[in-house]
Amino acid sequence: MWKKVRVFILLLVLGYVAIEAWKDLNQNWDQSIVVLVHPINADGSQNTENYIQQLNAQSFTETSEYLTANAKNYQRNAHFIFKIGRELKQLPPEPPENGSAFNAILWSLKFRYYAWKQTQSVDGYATVTLYLNYYDSNKYKVLKHSTALERGRIGVVNLFSDVKQNEENQVVTAHELLHAFGATDKYDLNTGQPIYPQGYVNPAQQPRLPQHQAELMAGYIPITETQSKIPLSLQQTVIGNLTAREIGWVK
């Protein structure tokens, strides 16, 4: 009797996991996408804490409007809603640097467990949850790579706690958000250069270089074969056809 009960419970759990996985891979874009962001004072400084305290939902209006407008370009009626969650004190586990496949899997399990522990009913429903690690730009000039997981729709984003960096922060946030929906990077992991043609907004442009905008998932605007520059705002980026196909905007 108890064996049957245990099997039944296990089947329910497996069914729930299967349904959630199917949802992750089959996002309904004709509905609101709720993005929950949890700010984190990653360096423990007062400057960073002051920056976090002034954040609100309007701080992400540009990102919301950018994503909504780009979705409409592909005939999708998705509306992106950003919600500010609780400020968290515990940092997410750091992704391995140049680690093995085993280390990557281990990190993803740790990250999922971290996200599960942070979940509280007061935060409400979210399509995607992003953990925003903020760092004082007076202390940090370069930040580690951000990352996101499609299965589970969670991401950790490293940002500067400086109003002068707000525009670039929006670019990084939007980039990682699309990773959570299955978008892949369009730049060479070794050189950082956008990959031709998928990392170019106008690959058929003559002459090909310099380009004038960045494919969002390429992260940079190609200038020469070996040089590129960081887009200063979302207005200097475009969500290209391949990225749109990867996240399900194009069938």
| pLDDT, average across residues 200-208 | 97
User: In terms of pLDDT, which residue wins out, 100 or 140?
Assistant: 140
In this structure, are residues 213 and 201 in contact, taking their beta carbons and an 8 Å threshold?
yes
* Pairwise CA distance, residues 44 & 64, whole Å: 28
Of 50, 99, 71, 43, which is closest to residue 247 (Cα–Cα)?
A: 71
Global pTM reads 0.89
**By mean pLDDT, which of 16-30, 41-55, 56-70, 184-198 is the weakest?**
16-30
Output the six-digit token pair for 48: 């960073």
Of 142, 156, 162, which is closest to residue 230 (Cα–Cα)?
A: 142
Output the six-digit token pair for 108: 């993803």
Please report the domains of the chain, with CATH numbers, ordered by start residue.
Answer: 29-182 (3.40.390.10), 185-251 (no CATH)
